[in-house]
Structure 1
Amino acid sequence: MDPVGDPFLRTRFALPLRPDTFIRRERLVAHLDRALDTPLTMINGGAGAGKTLLAADWAETLGQPVAWLTCDPADRAPGVFWAYLLQALRASGVRTADEVGSPADPSRVDHTLLARLAAGLSGRERPAVVILDEYDLVTTPEIADQLEFVLRHAGAGLRLVLVTRTEPLLPLHRYRALGTLTEIRDAELAFTPEEAATLLDLHGLRLSGAGVRALVGRTQGWAAGLRLCALAAQESNDPETYLKEFEAGQSAVADFLLAEVLKQQPPETQELLLRVSVLDRFCPDLANAVTGQQDAEPRLAALHRANAFVHHLGHSWYRLHPLFAEILRAHQRVRLPGLERELHRRAAAWLHRSGPLSETLAHGAAAGDWEFTARVLVDDLAIGQLFLGLRSDDLGELFSRMAPDADGPQAHLVRAARALSTGDIEHGLAHLRGAEEGTAPDLPAPDTAAVQLNCALLEALAARLTGSPGRAEQAARKARLAEQDVPADTLERHPELPALLQTHLGSALLWAGRFEEARTALSAAVASPGGAATALPREEALNHLALIDQIDGRPGRAERKARAAISDAERFSVPQPSGSGLGQLVLAAVAVERNELDEAQALLDQAATRHGAPDPVAAAAHVIAGGRLLLARGDAPAALETAESAVAAAVSSPWAEQQAALIASAAHLAEGRPEAAAKVLDDAARLHPACAAAAARALLASGRADEALRLLDDVRTVEPGGPAVTVRALLVRAQAADLAGDTVAALRLVVQALRQARRELLRRPFLEAGPWIRRLLAAEPAQELAADWLTQRPGPPAGGPPDGALSPAPVVEPLSARERDVLQRLAQMMSTEEIAADLFVSVNTVKTHLKTAYRKLGVNRRNDAVRRARELRLM
């Protein structure tokens, strides 16, 4: 009998039964095994965390008797608590409890009884293991003091395990400091994805790895939540979809949390929880602003201590368990209809004064107050973040929901920014006009400066997208004027604004061919401070500078800048390709010059997946890289078609036209039309060294060697281009000398070209030169200069070459596997149609492979191709 006179309830001493779907979690059992080495163990977690089943499973497999007591609210009386604890010890076979006796008074316990118990336990050879489940129901400080007394004086004779939702009133700090406390807390009790998959499997549910991870993320590994979800999903025809989309507020999970957590709180705390459920995170001041109360701080601290699904994030910030928050929001809509928008409005107002911009915008949007939300974005000068990879997706998605009736200059600016960021120039410009017309002229300068500065930024972007350098310069001037009326601290928070302005200006100037002015603006953007905030405009500016180097024929310098841009962007997790994809396009053009054609194609494919709006500079860069790659692959008609594709812009671009003309000229020449090749370059040949070199090559091919050389001599007065230009000019001169019979001069010029090309690994100029160069590349000293990076060194045939025989001239470019397949069948006297049928390709494809193989082997006929391939042991 207990001190009240009632019989002991035997169910309180029994180990709870584990369900059939219970899984033993070895990592937790192994941790709990340490309880045998420390006097005190605490399993502390929220409702349904799996604490009790873990302790029961461990106790049953421990291999020794365990005293188990499930606590009860009646145990708040010291006499009742100790009577039940002593009875639990007797039931487990601890004879010391029989010798101690039992309390007679429900309200008190004699100190002598506790001393006898501690002394009896201290003499045991094997410690008694006591597990107190639901110890959070024992809230009497006197009992905590008594329990700590017995634990301390029992020494090695007692191992106490407390299973609780809250931290007990014991001096835990002392045990922690001495290393004599074993703890398992909420975070460790959470199911891992692997454990969750096993649990679901026991319920007959097989989910994909992604489905399991999504469920664990939504429940945060909460044991009861996982079990309840699994039980509900068993009734569904599509469990994975159900678990992904189920409405938490209308589920058994909601019933559990509302009953076990929410309804256990006082009415005032329930109201607090319902209102803060609209917040992703909150501090006491924010919670007070949302609820209209002043006592959030002690209530939140108490909820956290009670493991009531309120997690402390540090620095007085909290968040709700995501599933609990979801359920509370659903319950709030029923219990407090119509209040949700007002709660978001209050949160937005508080955060606008004291919190991060992103959360202010999110709550403003949730409140449906779009004019406020747009005004916050514009006044904070954050509209540039709509174009930055780090924030653009989130902001774009948020403002995609903006109501169509939202008015005011700020709303127009946001719409303009969204339109321009996707390349919708027409609507972007229309909204820009709306923003400018909606700015009241009689407002003080500080009230309009932010609108004007953001207008200037967007006008500069529009100028870049349309290739309008004059408009870009005008926008830059407007921005400098507006900056004078913007608070300095606001400008300092947004270093991305001037960086974006300079990038847009530099791009527009570059399009117009004003390279020096473009370099000045772009270099200013590259030098911008701000770390992650300016990572994207810095990358874009550096890629534009790389493009200028590539246009000038300096591929090595271009590559270094483009790779530096990508490397810097990756430091700040900017997704690649970012912006206009210009870096990949520059690298693709460099790869073509080095004849790394697969790499060039991969880079072009990457650039095609860019996230930013297209602009004329990037469009022209795509034409250049794509056209040159087509030429390198031997598809002259497609290259010519690419070169003739128009790039829309407000003004023409001299360099874009020159580069397109170079591709068209090379395509005509490859198709055997040297006169057309020269004519394409008539206007540009005397203005740009690269065009002069290409025109001279075309003139030479048409038999006009003197004109070709005069053109190269005349262009010397123009600023010389980089290695890619000078190497081509040297090879034209070498070919002219070779045709004139001056082999010595031709070899000397080829050697000069090799020396310049070797530093940059420029292979394409030699591959484009034609069969005549192979003989010179095989001669000393050209052979040594070309070895290993430009030509192959064929080994001797089996048995060694006969005395005095020369090795065949090396192949400038190796044959592909498919080209070798075609040659093998050619050697078998198969027709083009038979080869196509045998390889399961079209006749045109076979012809393309043959044409490329002929070019690489320096021959024009089938028999010569087979003979040459055999000489080089390629067959």
Structure 2
Amino acid sequence: MASPLVNPSQLRPLSLPDKVLARPRLLLQLQDAAARGCRLVLLSAPLGYGKSTLLAQYATRLHTPWAWYRLDQADNQPLHLLLHLSRALGLPAPEHSLLPADEARLWSAVLQRLEQQDDGFTLFLDDLHLLRAERSRRYLEQLLRFGPPGLKVMAASEGAPELALNHLRRDERLAVIDARELAVDSEEIRQLASDRGAKLDSDALYQLRAGSEGWITGLLFWFTAYREQAPASPQPELLRGVTRQAYAYVTDFLCEEVLARLPEELLAFLERTAVVQTFDPALANLLGERADAERLIRQAQRRDLFIEQRAGERVEYRYHRVLREVLYQHLQQRDPQLLQQLHQRAAAWLLEQHRYSEAIHQYGRARDFNAVLATAERHTFDLLRDGQVNALVDLLGQVEVNGQTGSDHFTLAISEASIVMVTNDIARSKACIQRLRLLQRQGVQRNPERVQQTIAYLRTLLALLGGNLRHGIELAGQKLQRYPQRNAAGSVLRFNRARCLFELGQLAAARRDVEQALGEFDEFGFSGFANIPHLLLGQIELAEGDSLAALRRFLALESQSPATASRNFYELFHHLGLGLVFVQQGHLEQARQRLAKAETLALGFPHSAALVQVLHHKACLYDAMGEAGKALARWDEARRLARQFRQFGLYRLAGAWRARLAVRERDQDFILAWLQEWHWCQRHYGEDLMPDEWLAYAWVQRHLGQPAVARQILANLREQAEAEHNHRLQLDLWLLDAALQRDRGEQNAALTCLDEALQLAAAHGFGQLLHHEGRELAELFRQLLQPPVRRQAGLERPLPAREQLELLLARLGGGESKTTPLLEPLTRRELDVLRRMARGQTNQQLADGLFVSLSTVKTHINNLFRKLDVSDRDTALRAARELRLLD
């Protein structure tokens, strides 16, 4: 008879809904962690991130035994814990009421049952954070430390569980997947929308991603509200209604599941600190009118109340956007006067800390527009250091001065000019130029040279974004010569010229300008904005083949990144930079993670600011990974947004890469449409097109049967690449040259081109020879590795080291196997020799069994050793088994 103490609901996994979101990326992470020997895989995130669902999905895929156990408060009694653990493992229920003396017997039975699981066993523990009593925790700690070798524990917890885990971390047997990894990305939101019949355009999906910060529970409520309203089309007013209803659902959910269970003291503290986007203990004490903020912060962290700790110059904290809004509304409804006082208090403190945009945001929420204007008056160019552009742009438009809108005020017009350097908003840039010129004519100015420089850098920004690169270079040169005053406006003007030079492939001149501008930005204290020119300098280093220098640059930016939310936008650029480094080095999964972080940040700001750039590089990544469908979708979306924002330079860049993929996909319709755009650009800009555009045009001309045109472009680009030490472009050109040589039957010449590419890639740390167009040359690369073929082609330089070849040509073996394929495959006879060696045959037995001479056997064995990169039989057999060459 089952014990009356057993709660059966604790021993079964969550029932999966029919439309559960497939999360192959996370499921693969769980699988990889288990495969590499992790004892504990911990999903640690606040309520509603899909932890239990993910574990249940993983459990249904397991082919080895497993058990499920959802903990609750009663499990802090050891007998309750051990009874349920034994029942989860399939042990019979006790036939009598349990006594404390039964504790040791139950524990022994649990251990014995686990020891019997020879093929491995997975124990799923849900709600692990509820286990707090020391005696109960001790049992799980013993399992983690001394459990049988085949035991794997997969656990979900709201925050870090109160278990001793550092020994697992030390031994690399702990894997933690946190809220950042569990947050759904844009592709998953798109899938959620499709599964629920929500026909949303890209802008609506972006707003969902930004508003939810990837919290899946909030998204599910949104789709519930969408279904209930059953809109015929995603019209803006209907979507606003859906969002309001979803917000009401989320508010009720958080109140029921989180806020109603909090002590009154902690709830009041959360409400007061929710008026700011980030806070440290000092600001929290000020807002909470107390001296023990750190104690309450620790309480919130233990409960994992959607609070994120950010390491930087000082430790700061932020609430999830959804929770912050709910707490803010609570306080606003209960005590609006206190809310206004808190905004004023926070603004004054932030101003003392030189966090100007956040101070302006707080003054604006307090509706103290005089303070907003005074702050902007004193700190016009200081605002460039901050990245909280959303609130600043909105508030500048609200301020009224002498009956005029704030944007007609001279200082605010200058401030707005600084902001558009970050937002890349062409329409606002044009309007800003007109306002500055109007104010000039009205005589409302104090520094005419700075105004001229400001207008000039706005015009060069328009030239850069619009793709009129030569005009941007010439305009910047003229204005720098005419207005040589050393100030921030001149530095921005010089930086814009560097950007135009880089896009035209003039790396040396671009480097000189951006290094000088960076030095000046450092003098002026533009620590945040400087991330943007650092990205450009890193891109120059990558083009020159110095990925290690670029890696050091972006890692340094990451380590120096302040914790304040006002810098969040600028953090985007070191994530983007690291993504570009990892793509170039061939570390594609690391690149994916970094670009995903960059996209998440970009979604929180005006889409014109950086989203198009991030989407373009994500498309390049997907193309490198061989995921053509995702690459096409990202490039098409990047081009749509770029056209919408009139950023025609980025539109053309994305189009050039999209055209290269269209050639490989035989997408004739896109090729013809792109050619029309190409000819328009050539008529307007002549030879002043980006190297990416010329390279794409060469591939298109080869595809259209015009090799002579492609070869002429190749020669022109090669001359520029050599002059500018642009090794990245040289690598692409060697691949194009190899394809052209192969087309006309010049096999040895094609192999020579590929050997040049291989040697160049090895010398400069490239890891992408089989990305993009390199895939269609895979067979030529295989031949290039064969010693007889190399001798016939007259290639005398030795091949790069095996480790480099494995990175550069990792896909030659086909597929995405976790084992490294042989770059030079074994012949049928060599495989036969290998199998006989595995059976322990001597050289003489091999010769007798194969009816060949002893010297022939030795030749086969030497070839085996060379191809496996080993020097003896034992190592050869071990390598063969790792590569699955032996049954």
Structure 1 length-normalised TM: 0.48
Structure possessing the higher radius of gyration over alpha carbons: 1
Kindly indicate whether structure 1 or structure 2 has the higher relative contact order, using CA contacts under 8 Å at least 6 residues apart: 2
